[in-house]
Amino acid sequence: MKFGTKVIHAGVQPDPSTGAIMTPIFQTSTYVQQSPGKNQGFEYSRTHNPTRAVLEKNLAALENGSVGLSFASGMAAIDAILKLLKPGDEVISTNDLYGGTYRIFTKIFANYGIRFHFVNMQDMAEVRSHLTKNTKLIWAETPTNPMMNIVDIEALAAISKEHGVLLGVDNTFATPFLQNPLDKGADLVMHSVTKYLAGHSDVIMGAIVVKDADLAEKLAFIQNSCGAVPGPQDCFLVLRGIKTLHLRMERHSQNGKTIAAYLKNHPKVEKVYWPGFEDHPNHAIAKKQMRDFGGMISFTLKDNRLSDAIQVLENFKVFVLAESLGGVESLCGHPATMTHASIPREEREKVGLSDSLIRLSVGIEDAEDLKNDLARALESIQ
């Protein structure tokens, strides 16, 4: 199947009991058994639920994997991945990382004897220099949040295979429409399904997709044992949202290109971070491993004043100031005080995350209205 067909049909069948074309919401905690251990494939909804099972098959197909696993949030999915490790193990991660991921690494799992190295993953020599016999996981985001850096997945995969290390990729920003890390050699791909996959700002969910059966079995054991699973209503909403993923991502990418170009030419804007620009660091890698460049954009203001950034954010009318991203509506945020506040300022500034940096999740509205909104907000700076 081509992608536009997969989002609608992969893993999805009419309900056999009624013929319903939409997957029903199986709002049940348990299932009647004919005899102890003799059932229709379902025993208890923490372990398996029919609505969730359809979604997980659909997610696996979108990422060209064999097994999909859904979780109560993106952080719950990352939590499950880290539970593959044990005290003394080491993780190499990008130094430009979502604040929630940085927090769970440094404030939760570091307390259990797991060591984390945060490196510039645009430099493979830097990655190699931190490899030890205890390295068990390489963790990447691409594009990164919020600096939009591009990491070469194939190059990381070559390193991970050479050293017998798992490679995990957070594919939230790109979605399986724009890139497929498993096809590039990653061992597992993670999504905050909350964002583009659900797409309508009405669900919290995470997911992991893998190809290897043994890895899938280990993660499924953690999923069931620890119990951070989504409910059937949320699974239904995500299945519905995914059906338009390809159409939404085309418009997100189209609007992203328009808004990035507008910002780059604005006199009050210092720098624009968007991987579609030819002068963007690792643009060539982005062009090779992505099908388009998406609707996530970050930019800084001239003179880098926090007060100016707040002024802009308070004067948006169409862009909405809120946590999260990836919905049909355009969102704006201030990473230094919102999504990345858990990262120390000195660490943020090392990667360019300055006080005036604003992150945009460009929605699917009319691009002219979005440009006019930006013009109005930027004009408010004195």
Tokens representing 163 are 């050293």
Question: What residues form DSSP beta bridges with 171?
Answer: none
**Annotated catalytic residue within 96, 152, 170, 234:** 170
Task: Using CB atoms within 10 Å of the CB of residue 150, give its burial: 0 to 12 exposed, 13 to 18 middle, 19+ buried.
Answer: buried
**Annotated catalytic residue within 98, 102, 196, 273:** 98
First to last CA, the chain: 54
Q: How far is CA 111 from the centre of its chain?
A: 25
44 phi and psi, to 5 degrees? -155, 135
Beta strand ranges found along the chain (DSSP E): 67-71, 90-94, 115-119, 135-141, 166-170, 188-192, 206-210, 269-273, 296-301, 320-321, 331-333, 358-361
Q: Is 46 a catalytic residue?
A: yes
* C-alpha Rg value of the chain to the nearest Å: 21
Strand order in the sheet with 166-170: 67-71, 206-210, 188-192, 166-170, 135-141, 90-94, 115-119
221 contacts: CB under 8 Å, gap ≥ 6: none
How many Å apart are CA 273 and CA 262, to the nearest integer?
12
Give the count of alpha carbons within 13 A of 213, CB side only: 0
How many Å apart are CA 242 and CA 62, to the nearest integer?
10
**Annotated catalytic residue within 6, 136, 184, 195:** 195
335: alpha, beta or left, given left = phi > 0 and alpha = psi -120 to 50?
A: alpha
How many Å apart are CA 17 and CA 4, to the nearest integer?
27
257 contacts: CB under 8 Å, gap ≥ 6: 276, 293
Question: How many CB atoms are closer than 10 A to CB 197?
Answer: 29
Q: Is 170 a catalytic residue?
A: yes
Answer yes or no: are the C-beta atoms of 111 and 66 closer than 8 Å. Answer: no
192 phi and psi, to 5 degrees? -80, 95
Hey, which residues are catalytic here?
46, 98, 170, 195
